[in-house]
Amino acid sequence: MARKTNIRANRNSHQAVSIDSHAPISFTFDGRTYQGCRGDTLASALLANNVHLTGRSFKYHRPRGIMAAGAEEPNALVGIGVGGRIEPNIKATQIELYDGLVAVSQNRFPSLKLDMGEINSVFSRFFPAGFYYKTFMWPASFWMGYEHIIRRAAGLGKASDTHQDPDRYEKRHAHFDIVVVGGGLAGLNAALQAANSGQRVLLAEDQHQCGGWLRSCDDIAIDGMAGHEWADKTALHLAEMENVTLLPRTTCFGYGDHNFLTLAERVTDHLAEKPAHLPRMRLWKVRARQVILATGAIERPLVFAGNDLPGVMLASAAQTYLNQYGVLAGGRGILTTNNDAAWHSAFALHEAGCLITAIVDTRENPAPAVLKQAAALGIQTRLGAGIIAAHGRLHIARVEIAPLTKTGDALAGEAEHFDCDLVLMSGGMNPVVHLHSQSRGKLKWDERTYCFRPSTSHEATQSVGACNGSFEPSRGIKEANAAALKAVKANGGAAEALDLPDIIARKINYTPMPIWQIPSGLPAGQGGKAFVDFQNDVTASDIQLAVREGYHSVEHVKRYTTTGMATDQGKTSNINALGILARERNAEIPAVGTTTFRMPYTPTSIGMIAGRDIGGLFDPVRVTPMDKWHREAGAKFEHVGQWMRAWYYPQKGESMEEAVHREVRAARQTAGLLDASTLGKIDIKGPDAAEFLNRIYTNSWLKLGVGNCRYGLMCKDDGMVMDDGVTTRLADDHFHMTTTTGGAAGVLDWLEEWQQTEWPELKVYLTSVTEQWAVATLSGPAAQEILNAAGTDIPLNNEGFRFMSMREGHVSGLPARIYRISFTGELSYEINVPARYGMALWTTLMRAGKTFGITPYGTEAMHVLRGEKGFIIVGQETDGTVTPHDLGMSWIVSDKKPDFIGKRALARQAMQASDRKQLVGLKTKDPKQVIPEGAHATLDPDQPPPVDMLGHVTSSYFSPNLGHSVAMALLRAGHTRMGQTVYFPMLDGSPPIEATITDTRFYDPKGERLNG
């Protein structure tokens, strides 16, 4: 009997401590417009509008309403937002209302009140525990089909699949001396005491205001103020302190090792107009030296038939809706409980105008005080009794109340019927131990209050107040204060102990009767459904069935029935499920055990976890000093690691193939220019530098003359090729190493590791100079003329500047080192200049080479050019399983050196086996055919599967210079198969490609072109 006409008239606004009843705002639910107040949650606003039916349940599509008032809500999951902001499965109890909010119910078709899926409810006998396991097990080949059906049935709401999320999400790191999670009575006290030390304190509160239960109850006075007034005042005081960060609307959802906490701050969700510069949410990644958990407690439901009907609500939730939001959840209510505390919720509602017609307590002897108060209010009581069934179609209408035996296992008399539109239920309290448990803290069963509470901690953390099972307010603040002092001290600080606030609170006995299911008087499986896990639609008889079928471990029962496995992680269901399991197994709850809680405490937006690592900031893009030139020339790019390298330079109207062929021809006929700046470069200096290289590379380095270059191959200690490159001796004790682009960082780490851990006696220093130098590789018959035309003081004639040597000087006035080395097989100069001159060098060479037909070429042409020569690329011809011998490069493996990395491994028998995969060349029968890279070779194209595979193609191109395709492959015993014919079956069903095994040197096998 919430408000009927307007907000003011039907809210108990004098009590509504969390809303501004003068600030009406409108929102829609399932297309209908309603009014709420600023400060409302969607749930409180719906109740204020007498909307109780909020969704359909997951499995049976049963009508469901609002059961709780916080993060534990299992039923009222709705979709909110429009367009890209659509977000499904949000708890209505956690949505702060804003003007224009659009919300929709879920899991219903065609409408909430008339839902086709409800038929699942009629046929529910066929949906027992483990239904999917049993039904979709057999035959295995049908699984693919079953999966589609299950996937469609699974899940509740739908995310937008057509819109991009328009919101920004931020992430940030933060460090605090003391983190307090939860801003209720205990949390505020802990934060006050901690802040008094001057240490850096974070207080995170899930709601938009601090206070927790202080906002919902009306019987606690602190320092002469109402509880919520004290909470507001204290929060304000804390927020003004320099050393305190107070985050409202912030849920701590994860607690990991080394006091690492993750918090979700909802920055703009409550705003109708969302400022563009603010993120929607902010993920806080917090390192805390000390943590104080003050996360409160959640009321347990009672398990009885029909306990999921809209209008059946946790007693504390009804009191929250009354006192915080001024909403009466009904007009004619009944309380069913096993403890004293819930009586006070019923009294509060009764006094506010909801007629409580009966209080039903499973105990025979509640506290005299509550009996007296009930009598004074004229509320009749049923002691030693329970609600055995609740009835109604879309809302609670009637309950059956019956006396129970002393143990609560069976009925002890006839049932009476009571009409009602609200049932308050309370099965005791569950401390919110989730974060403690996430951080690997242990739990223990508390025999006083029949709940799990924290025992030993794994992290530097303390639990205080209700989350520690200390439900009495005075006890909670004492704990909070002591914990804060302990934390301050543990951090090496000192703080004066603050006077505890003067607190006046009702004395309540928080010991409930352990009763995990109210009997229905009917055999298991008959009568109405008694829900344990509301979100996953798991009933008490599902758990009983699981035990009968042999599932005894809590971990098995949980997975078989799915109890506790919904997105609420069983906040309201776990203890009842354990209790029923223990009863069925004739065991005690501690012996049955509990499950471990995992992050996130509440479902968390993926967008927030992605943060700003999206679009252009997803991964850094590294560009060379000549990047701008390539872009202006219209180059296409390819990613090489994080580098973006020019791939090819199409001219107007050219296809990729045409462009690459033009570039490849130019490099052999006139000259090509390649941006090779990304090559890894390492400066190696020290008296033992040559010896160091001698151990790193497979070949010999001691006698390399100053100014000379040598190609080297390095292996991992398993003898497999790791990287290659040309290294140059700059001075006796000084070398310049080059590595592959992708291998640069790994090679430097590798060298450092060997120097530091294995050969510390070698005097060598390593410095990365990859980015110090820009490199332009000028290659082709006209290379020398172009370099001369550009102007250089280095004599370029073959006698003065031999192949595999380096000269230092200038190019067009720029300080340069020119390495006469070649990856194309042509006369080639790798011109290195300090990176700032890279662009100047490039444009100078392009200008100087214009009349000679200089052509910029990209990485694709580079690949083809080296493919024509049979030069390997580490990572293309090798994959970590290939030795130098496999590559046909035994010439580079010294057998004279005492040792090098990989030497011992290469000497092992398996490394010398004749059937290892070895690198060979391939020439297709049809010269125009290019074998796809990765194609597998077989000797007999007609053999039935399984086909005997010889190996695969590693590189394959059409060579415009040769007029036929060239390919390399790693084939079993390839080196002994020269001249053999192999076949490459095609995936697309076209005829296998026929090729002959050849040497890998296709072009200029004698290397005569190196001298121009």
Partner 1 sequence: MASSNSDNTSNGAPDAQTPQASALPEILPNPEGGAAGISIAKVAGRTLINLRCEDNIKAKLEALFGTPLPAEPNKVASMGTRRAIWLGPDETLLMIEEEQEAEFMLNLKALLGTAHYAATPVSDAIKIFRLGGTRRLDVLAKGCALDLHPASFKQGDCAQSMLAHAAITLAADTPDSLLLFCRTSYSDYVTSWLKDAAVEYGYILLDNA
Contact positions toward partner 1, by CB under 8 A? Answer: 168, 170-175, 200, 275-279, 285, 287, 612-613, 615-617, 619-625, 627, 631, 634-639, 643-644, 647, 650, 652-656, 683, 685-687, 763, 765-773, 834-836
CA–CA distance, 519 with 789 (Å, rounded to integer): 100
Is the Cβ of residue 174 or residue 394 nearer to partner 1 in the bound state?
174
- Least separation in angstroms between residue 487's CB and partner 1 is 17
- Least separation in angstroms between residue 245's CB and partner 1 is 11
Nearest to 820 by CA among 709, 954, 930, 913: 709
- Least separation in angstroms between residue 730's CB and partner 1 is 11
Is the Cβ of residue 112 or residue 744 nearer to partner 1 in the bound state?
744
- Least separation in angstroms between residue 793's CB and partner 1 is 19
Is the Cβ of residue 167 or residue 537 nearer to partner 1 in the bound state?
167
- Least separation in angstroms between residue 497's CB and partner 1 is 24
Contact between 680 and 738 under an 8 Å Cβ cutoff? The reply is: yes
Handedness of CA 691, 696, 698, 701 (dihedral sign): negative
- Least separation in angstroms between residue 901's CB and partner 1 is 22
Handedness of CA 779, 785, 790, 795 (dihedral sign): positive
Q: Which residues pair with 672 in a beta bridge?
A: 779, 855
Is the Cβ of residue 169 or residue 452 nearer to partner 1 in the bound state?
169
- Least separation in angstroms between residue 611's CB and partner 1 is 8
- Least separation in angstroms between residue 775's CB and partner 1 is 12
Amino acid at 645: R
- Least separation in angstroms between residue 645's CB and partner 1 is 10
Backbone dihedral angles phi then psi of residue 438, each to the nearest 5 degrees: -55, -35
Name residues whose C-beta falls within 8 Å of residue 475's C-beta, 6 or more positions apart in sequence.
none
CA–CA distance, 453 with 475 (Å, rounded to integer): 15
- Least separation in angstroms between residue 80's CB and partner 1 is 24
Is the Cβ of residue 334 or residue 659 nearer to partner 1 in the bound state?
659
- Least separation in angstroms between residue 491's CB and partner 1 is 12
CA–CA distance, 469 with 1008 (Å, rounded to integer): 86
Is the Cβ of residue 8 or residue 639 nearer to partner 1 in the bound state?
639
Name residues whose C-beta falls within 8 Å of residue 147's C-beta, 6 or more positions apart in sequence.
none
Is the Cβ of residue 718 or residue 771 nearer to partner 1 in the bound state?
771
On the CB side of 610, CA atoms within 13 Å amount to 13
SS3 837: helix
CA–CA distance, 699 with 896 (Å, rounded to integer): 9
Is the Cβ of residue 619 or residue 948 nearer to partner 1 in the bound state?
619
- Least separation in angstroms between residue 959's CB and partner 1 is 20
Is the Cβ of residue 219 or residue 683 nearer to partner 1 in the bound state?
683
- Least separation in angstroms between residue 336's CB and partner 1 is 50
Q: Do strands 225-226 and 220-222 pair parallel, antiparallel, or not at all (unpaired)?
A: antiparallel
- Least separation in angstroms between residue 266's CB and partner 1 is 15
Contact between 589 and 582 under an 8 Å Cβ cutoff? The reply is: yes
Spell out the alpha helix ranges (H) of 450-519.
Answer: 473-490
Nearest to 23 by CA among 10, 42, 40, 9: 40
- Least separation in angstroms between residue 488's CB and partner 1 is 15
Helix %, strand %, coil % for the chain, to 5? 25, 30, 45
- Least separation in angstroms between residue 652's CB and partner 1 is 8
Q: Pull the structure tokens for residue 169.
A: 């999400």
- Residue 888 φ/ψ region, left for φ over 0, alpha for ψ in the -120 to 50 degree band, beta for the rest: left
Is the Cβ of residue 275 or residue 898 nearer to partner 1 in the bound state?
275
- Least separation in angstroms between residue 828's CB and partner 1 is 24
Is the Cβ of residue 682 or residue 827 nearer to partner 1 in the bound state?
682
Instruction: Give the burial string for 398-410 (b: 16+ CB within 10 Å, else e).
Output: ebbbbbbeeebee
Which residue shows structure tokens 């501004």?
20
- Residue 598 φ/ψ region, left for φ over 0, alpha for ψ in the -120 to 50 degree band, beta for the rest: beta
Name residues whose C-beta falls within 8 Å of residue 756's C-beta, 6 or more positions apart in sequence.
none
Crossing angle of helices 341-352 and 315-325, rounded to 10°: 40
Q: Which residues pair with 417 in a beta bridge?
A: 400
Contact between 575 and 300 under an 8 Å Cβ cutoff? The reply is: yes
CA–CA distance, 798 with 632 (Å, rounded to integer): 36
Burial of 54 (0-12, 13-18, 19+ CB in 10 A): buried
Is the Cβ of residue 174 or residue 383 nearer to partner 1 in the bound state?
174
User: Which strands form 917-924's sheet, in the order they lie side by side?
Assistant: 936-937, 951-959, 964-972, 917-924, 993-998, 981-984
Crossing angle of helices 540-548 and 574-585, rounded to 10°: 40
CA–CA distance, 750 with 754 (Å, rounded to integer): 6
H-helix or E-strand spanning residue 451 = strand 451-454
N-terminal to C-terminal alpha carbon distance within the chain: 97
CA–CA distance, 508 with 366 (Å, rounded to integer): 11
Is the Cβ of residue 153 or residue 621 nearer to partner 1 in the bound state?
621
Q: What is the CA radius of gyration of the chain?
A: 38
Note the residue count of the chain. 1012
- Least separation in angstroms between residue 636's CB and partner 1 is 4
SS3 705: coil
CA–CA distance, 803 with 405 (Å, rounded to integer): 101
